[in-house]
């Protein structure tokens, strides 16, 4: 399949009338796959009301069929087509954080393709903020099911070139709207229980959720590696470069020692670091990948997947990574790094 690439300026006026977006929307309506930018990462979209279209997502990504997809909508009225009902807590969260990087799990309506929910009675709903994503959904006039537009197991794409690396020849087209903003995926919360529960940390922080709802719970599987995650996708290995990743806690000295020891044994070594610390590894590591600055962890979130993907352009034996405080956006960063380092109950790939 020839994969078309359209460049679209997210700041342009009247995006719904943009020729590229109209063409991409026509592909969605025809049951084909389109990759598009969101404010979190690039998504791989299909018509969420068509089982045949959604099946193609699983094929293109090599995604396990038990891992449900998030449905993206562009206005509140579309939620009624996708949700059987909207719990009160979900409504509060939608008002506070939509459009934005928050996915609410709600009871699913019958119209939603069975392949979207992977047989569950609930569905994940999100209204993205990115103007290209919103224009595509409006122009297609159907809710769009979309996971991240990477091959299963790989770091999520934050630039169109990442999507191209993984998906060229597998999908109808890529809307290139420049780099994604937040850099890590949406926060996934279950709103069908008494207490709203974080299933996946992401772009909206726990602190932000608690400011709206009071106390929120966490899926025990986020801490306890033996527990079964409530979000099926969280049980899989994910975000992994080809070389093994090892997280080094402690501090800069510990990381430096780990790199030095590996070099002494003759290994080719990558290091995932920050602007503050990169210089330390100059004559030590073979490949240095800078995610962002420790002074502002939002920049680390933004640059994390690009920094991880860069390692695959080299032939490395091992990658060592800095660690970050698991607070605010740091919770999502550490969740992704732990997964990249291969901590999962099972050897399958997302």
Q: Which residues bind ligand AMP (CB under 6 A)?
A: 67-70, 105, 117, 120, 122-124, 147-148, 185, 188, 199-200, 230-234
Please identify, using beta-carbon distances, which residue of 277 and 344 lies nearer to ligand AMP: 344
If one counts every other C-beta atom within 10 angstroms of the C-beta of residue 194, the result is 7
Verify binding: residue 338, Mg ion, rule CB under 5 A.
no
Contact partners, residue 237, CB within 8 Å, separation at least 6: 153, 339, 342, 344, 346, 347, 348, 349, 350
- H-run or E-run covering 24: helix 19-29
According to CB under 5 A, which residues from 203 to 222 bind Mg ion? none
The CB-of-117 to ligand AMP minimum distance in angstroms stands at 6
**Residue 232 partner contact from ligand AMP, Mg ion, none using kind-dependent CB cut-offs of 5 to 8 Å:** ligand AMP
Taking CB under 5 A as the rule, which mask of x and - marks residues 140-159 in contact with Mg ion? Answer: -------xx-----------
**Residue 115 partner contact from Mg ion, ligand AMP, none using kind-dependent CB cut-offs of 5 to 8 Å:** none
Alpha carbon separation from 294 to 157, 252, 277, 289, 324 (Å, rounded): 22, 12, 9, 14, 8
Angle of CA points 6, 8, 12, to nearest 5°: 155
Residue 108 pairs with which residues in a beta bridge? 83
Taking CB under 5 A as the rule, which mask of x and - marks residues 38-77 in contact with Mg ion? Answer: ----------------------------------------
C-beta nearest to Mg ion: residue: 148
Distance CA 125, CA 189 (A): 10
Verify binding: residue 187, Mg ion, rule CB under 5 A.
no
**Residue 123 partner contact from Mg ion, ligand AMP, none using kind-dependent CB cut-offs of 5 to 8 Å:** ligand AMP
User: Reduced to 3 states, what is the DSSP secondary structure of residue 324?
Assistant: coil
Please check whether residue 121 is in contact with residue 107, taking contact to mean a CB–CB distance below 8 angstroms. Answer: yes
The CB-of-265 to ligand AMP minimum distance in angstroms stands at 36
Q: Name the residue among 27, 80, 71 with its Cα closest to residue 49.
A: 71
The residue range among 139-147, 159-167, 261-269, 286-294 that interacts with Mg ion, by the rule CB under 5 A, is 139-147
C-beta nearest to ligand AMP: residue: 233
Please identify, using beta-carbon distances, which residue of 32 and 185 lies nearer to ligand AMP: 185
Identify the DSSP state of 349.
B
Across the beta sheet with 187-190, the strand order is 4-7, 173-176, 34-37, 42-47, 144-145, 70-72, 122-126, 102-107, 187-190, 197-200, 217-218
The CB-of-233 to Mg ion minimum distance in angstroms stands at 7
The CB-of-239 to Mg ion minimum distance in angstroms stands at 8
Residues that bind Mg ion (rule: CB under 5 A) add up to a total of 2
The site for Mg ion (CB under 5 A) is made up of 147-148
């Amino acid at each position: 399949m020839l994969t078309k690439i359209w460049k679209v300026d997210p700041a342009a006026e009247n995006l719904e009338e943009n020729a590229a977006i109209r063409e991409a929307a026509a592909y969605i309506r025809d049951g084909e796959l389109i990759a598009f930018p969101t404010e979190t990462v690039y998504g791989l979209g299909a018509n969420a009301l068509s089982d045949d279209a959604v099946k193609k997502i699983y094929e293109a990504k090599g995604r396990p069929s038990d891992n449900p997809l998030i449905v993206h909508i562009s206005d509140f009225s579309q939620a009624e087509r996708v949700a059987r009902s909207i719990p009160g807590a979900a409504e509060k969260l939608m008002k506070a954080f939509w459009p934005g990087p928050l996915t609410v799990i709600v009871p699913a309506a019958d119209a939603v393709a069975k392949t979207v929910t992977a047989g569950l009675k609930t569905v994940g709903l999100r209204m993205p903020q990115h103007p290209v994503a919103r224009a595509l959904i409006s122009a297609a006039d159907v809710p769009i099911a979309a996971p991240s537009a990477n091959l299963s197991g790989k770091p999520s794409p934050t630039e169109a070139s990442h999507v191209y690396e993984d998906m060229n020849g597998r999908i109808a087209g890529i809307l290139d709207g420049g780099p994604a903003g937040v850099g890590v995926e949406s926060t996934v919360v279950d709103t069908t229980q008494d207490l709203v529960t974080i299933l996946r940390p992401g772009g909206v922080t726990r602190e932000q959720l608690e400011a709206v709802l009071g106390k929120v719970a966490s899926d025990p599987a986020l801490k306890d590696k033996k527990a079964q995650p409530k979000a099926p996708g969280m049980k899989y290995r994910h975000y992994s470069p080809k070389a093994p990743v090892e997280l080094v806690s402690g501090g800069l000295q510990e990381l430096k020692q780990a790199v030095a020891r590996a070099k002494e044994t003759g290994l080719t070594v990558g290091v995932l670091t920050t602007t503050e610390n990169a210089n330390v590894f100059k004559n030590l590591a073979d490949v240095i990948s800078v995610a962002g600055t420790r002074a502002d962890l939002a920049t680390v979130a933004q640059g994390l997947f690009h920094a991880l993907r860069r390692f695959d352009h080299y032939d490395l034996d091992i990658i060592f990574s800095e660690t970050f405080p698991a607070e605010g956006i740091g919770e999502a960063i550490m969740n992704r790094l732990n997964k990249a380092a291969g901590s999962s109950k099972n050897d399958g790939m997302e």
